[in-house]
Structure 1
C-alpha cells in the first residue's frame, strides 16, 4: 500500500505528485497513455523542422503558477505579436475581430444581474437585425476561442473572461510546453514517485482511507488516498466504475461541459503570406498573427514574432464535436480552407507544404475533448467536487478548477497544487 495514488500524469497530476512526494509521502502515478503531459503535447517529429504544439500552446497572461514554474524550470518565454486579418465572402481585410458594438455588449453584460447562457443573453438584448454582425461574431468567438456551445456557455463566465483578457494569446514557452512537464516529472522521480504507463483504470473500490484501483491489464494498486485527474468528459462515458457509486459527485461531474477541438499543424517551405502583395498566386498578409475567416476551418495563426513558417488551424466547439471525418479527409479540408483564405488553388498550397498533421482531441479516448468551459450550473457542481469523497477520493484538473482560468494549463497547475495541499492537511 502507498500513501497516494494519482490517476493521470498531466499538469494537475504532476503538480500534485511533486508536492505530495516532497512531503515524504509515497506516490504512485497511473497514466493511461504511453507518455506524460496529457493535453500538453509538444511534437518533435522528424518531418517538422522545429517543435510544434499538438495541445496547449499559449500562456494567457501573467499567470502565477505557470510563470513561476517556467522560471523555476529555467524555460524562457516570449510575448506573441502581429496583425489580425479577416477573410469573409472571399474578401480580405485587416482589423479587429469584433464589430463596433463590442463596447455596448460589455456594458449590457456588466449590468446583468442573473446568469444565463450567452445565447439567451444575445436573444434577449441583441435580437434586433442591426446586431446581426455582432451576434455572429460572438457566436464564432465563443465556439472558436472557448470551444463552447453558446446555448450552454455562461454569460457571467464570459463577462469575466472578456473583462480581464488583454490579449487573445499572451506568451509562448521557448521550446514548447513539454519542457515544463519534463521538469515536473524529474522533480517527482527525484522524490521517489513511481510511474506506470499504459495503465488504463477501469474500476475503483473505495471506503474511508482505503482505495483499490484496477486497470484494464488486470493490475491492482492499493492506497490510503486517491487523486483523480481524469477529465470529466472521460468519466462521463462510464469507462471508470466507482464502487460504491459516487452519488452527488457523479451528478456534479455530469454537469461539467468540455469543448471539442481539432488542431491542424502545417509547416510550409516559406512564409508566403509575408511576400509582396503582387507576388502571385497567394494573398499577402504582412505581419500575420491571426486570420479569422468563414472557411470550413476558420481560424489560423502563425508563430509571430518568431518567423517559423508554420500555420496552426483551429476548429472548435460544436463544429469540431460534430465532425466525423477521418484524418486524411481533415487534412484535405485544411488545404481547401487555406486555398480559400489565401485566394489560390489547392495545388498552390500543396506545393508549399513541408509537413502537416491533425490532432482531434474530441476523438482522443483519454481526453474526449480539449478543455472545459463554464455553464450556468458549473459553479454549483464545482462546489461539490472541491470536497473529497469520505476524505479519500479527491479530484483535480483544469475542469475542476473554480477560477477565471478554467480550461487552461494554469487551472490544471493551480488545481493540482491546492488539492495536494488539501490532501496533506
Structure 2
C-alpha cells in the first residue's frame, strides 16, 4: 500500500507529489491523460519554429516560483513592444481606441483591485456603479470575460480584488524556453515508476487513514489521497458537502487553436476582439502560425467556427493579412469539451466566495485537495496558484501522516 495517491498530474499534483517524495513518502500519481501537464500544453511547429501555448500562456511575474523550478536561463521576458489592435463593431482598430475618450479595460480592473466595499457585488454590477456604459462597458465586460473565463454578471468583484492583492510574483511576463510543457516535465523528474498515465480514477472509497481508488486497471490503496482534478470533474465517492462545493466552482469555457497557414505573418501582432468572437489572436512576423485563445462566449464562437471557411472569416477580421490564405493545419485544445478539464480555469463567483475554501478543506485527515480552484478568489488562478496549492496540500499530508 502506498502512503499517498495523487490524482492528477498537472502543475499542482506534480508539485505535491515531488515534495512528498522528497520527504521519503511512497507516492503514486494517477493521470487520466497519456501525458503530464494538465492544462499546460505546448504546440511545437514541425519546422522547429518557436513553440506556441495551447493552455497556460505565460509565466506571470519576475518572482514567480516557475523561474526557480526550471533553473537559470530557462525563461525569457516577453517583449512589451508588440503591435496591439482590437476588433470592435467588426472593424480592426488600434488598441489605443480603448483609451480614447473612455477608460481602458485594464485601467478599470486596476481600480477594482484598490476598491473597498465591493463585497457581494458582481463585476458587472460594480462596473455599472462606476458609471461604465456604452462602448466602454462593452469593451471592459469582454476584457473580464477573456481574462477570467467567466460571465461578469456572475464574477465576484471582491474575489477578483482579493486575488490581485494576494499575488506576490512581481512584474512582467515571461515565456519558457522550449515551451511551458518543460515545467511539468521538470516537476515529474524523479517520479519514474510512480506515474500512472492514461489511468483515470473512476471512483474512490475512503475511511479515516485509508483510501482506495478504482481505475480501469484495477484498484489501489493508500493512507491518504490528494485530489487535484477540477471540481467540475467530480470523482464519485466524495462526501455530499464536497459535491456541493464543487457545484459552486464551475470552470469557465475555454478553447485554444493554432492555425498554420500557407504564408508567413508580415508583423508581430496581438488582437483583442471586443465583439466577443475570438478572444485574443496572435501572430509572429515571419511565422505561418496564428494562435487564438478564446474564453467564455468567444470559446463557443470559436468552437462553432470549426476548421473551415467560418474559421478563416474570423481570422480575416482580426488579421486582414490572412484573407485568402490556405489553412494547412488546425490544432485544437478545447478545454471546455475536455472530459478531464471541463473548462479553462475557475474564477470566483459572486455570492459563492467561500466555495474555494470549502473545496480545499481536507476530509478526515485522509482526503486532501489542490489545484487552482482551491485558491479561487484568494490568489490569481494561474500556474503559480496551482503550484502553491500543491505545496499547501503536501504540508497538510505530512502533518496528518506524521
Q: Tell me if both proteins adopt one fold, taking TM over 0.5 as the criterion.
A: yes
Q: What number of residue pairs does the alignment pair up?
A: 392
Could you say which residue in structure 1 is the equivalent of 2:173? 170
- Residues 9 and 115 of structure 1: is their aligned pair in 2 closer, same or farther, counting only changes over 3 Å? same
Task: Identify which of 339, 347, 359 aligns with 1:385.
Answer: 359
Could you say which residue in structure 2 is the equivalent of 1:400? 374
Could you say which residue in structure 2 is the equivalent of 1:6? 6
Separation in 1, partners of 2:198, 2:20: 23
Could you say which residue in structure 1 is the equivalent of 2:157? 155
Using structure 2 for the length normalisation, give the TM-score.
0.87
Task: Identify which of 349, 355, 376 aligns with 2:325.
Answer: 349
Could you say which residue in structure 1 is the equivalent of 2:69? 69
Could you say which residue in structure 2 is the equivalent of 1:340? 317
Could you say which residue in structure 2 is the equivalent of 1:119? 124
- Residues 161 and 170 of structure 1: is their aligned pair in 2 closer, same or farther, counting only changes over 3 Å? farther
RMSD: 3.0
More deviation, 60-69/415-424:
60-69
Could you say which residue in structure 1 is the equivalent of 2:390? 416
More deviation, 264-273/310-319:
264-273
Could you tell me whether the CA contact under 8 Å between 1:293 and 1:299 is conserved in 2?
Answer: no
Structure 1 residues 156-213: Cα deviation after superposition (integer angstroms, max 9, x where no partner): 2334567879999821111101111111111333xxx611122121111000010010
Could you tell me whether the CA contact under 8 Å between 1:75 and 1:180 is conserved in 2?
Answer: no
Could you say which residue in structure 2 is the equivalent of 1:320? 299
Structure 1 residues 25-62: Cα deviation after superposition (integer angstroms, max 9, x where no partner): 10111111111111111233647744332211211223
Could you tell me whether the CA contact under 8 Å between 1:339 and 1:349 is conserved in 2?
Answer: no
Structure 1 residues 1-39: Cα deviation after superposition (integer angstroms, max 9, x where no partner): 110000111111100110001111101111111111111
Could you say which residue in structure 1 is the equivalent of 2:59? 59
5+ long unaligned stretches in structure 1 = 275-286
Separation in 2, partners of 1:94, 1:165: 32
Say whether 1:254 aligns with 2:247. yes
Separation in 2, partners of 1:52, 1:323: 18
5+ long unaligned stretches in structure 2 = none
Could you tell me whether the CA contact under 8 Å between 2:16 and 2:394 is conserved in 1?
Answer: yes
Say whether 1:368 aligns with 2:370. no
Could you say which residue in structure 2 is the equivalent of 1:39? 39
Using structure 1 for the length normalisation, give the TM-score.
0.82
Separation in 2, partners of 1:7, 1:122: 39
Could you say which residue in structure 1 is the equivalent of 2:94? 94
Deviation at 1:104, TM superposition (A): 6.8
The DSSP-based 3-state class of the residue aligned with 2:148 is coil
